[in-house]
Amino acid sequence: MSDHAWLPLFPLNTVLFPGGALPLRVFETRYIDMVRDCMKRDAPFGVVRIKSGKEVGVAAQPDSVGCLAHIVEWDMPELGLLMLQTSGGQRFRVLETRTLPDQRIEARTELIADDADAPPSAELVACATALNTVIKDINEAARASGEGGFSPFPAELKLDSTCWVANRWCEILPISTLARQKLLELTDAQSRLAIVHQYLVQHGIVAGDKSH
């Protein structure tokens, strides 16, 4: 990104995590132009949660931390509609924004270092085992739909990684986008996994620690 100081932002009512898979349906001219420019430069754009405002129309106010989205695949099934598959890269912090005449937002950013992976733990094993079951169920449902159902999970599973397991759970838990955003902003993978584990125990998805 060094050759392009201003990062184009795509404000959405969702939160992208590193290593995540995010399909996007792009139909607004301003964002089709943005995506084309990124593809030309083989550069990512930034996905940020909308703090206030809407996805369409006047520029929305983005949250202060987002995630780079790398374009993996694209298709234009009809004129004026781009279908993208994107992959979550590194997180970034928004330092300054500017709004372009077409109401697109660009930002000066600083990258946030990737979380260090924590040593294996009982929490990781419990969360990873449950996640593996969920992934299989969702993938089977996507295949059974017969309509090119999309799996929200990357092809390569990293069930021995605290970062990866915590991030995938953060994407699929039925929580608010604000709660998801707070989890994205944590800079410690073990803390993120601990919160996920607590949620799964409270909702009976994994067993609690019987020693307590």
The residues spanned by each domain of the chain are 7-111, 122-202
pLDDT digits (tens, 9 = 90+) for 90-147: 999 999 999 999 889 999 999 999 999 988 899 999 999 999 999 999 888 878 876 5
pLDDT of residue 128: 97
Fold classification of 122-202 is LON domain-like fold (1.10.4060)
Whole-model pTM: value is: 0.89
Q: Which residues in the chain land under pLDDT 70?
A: 1-4, 54-58, 146-150, 209-212
Annotate 38-60 with three-state secondary structure.
Answer: HHHHCCCEEEEEEEECCCCCCCC
Fold annotation for 7-111: 2.30.130
Identify the pLDDT of residue 212. 41
Strand partners, 11: 48
pLDDT on residue 26: 93
End-to-end CA distance of the chain: 49
pLDDT recorded at residue 155 = 78
Enumerate the β-bridge partners of residue 48. Answer: 11
- CB of 20 within 8 A of CB of 32? no
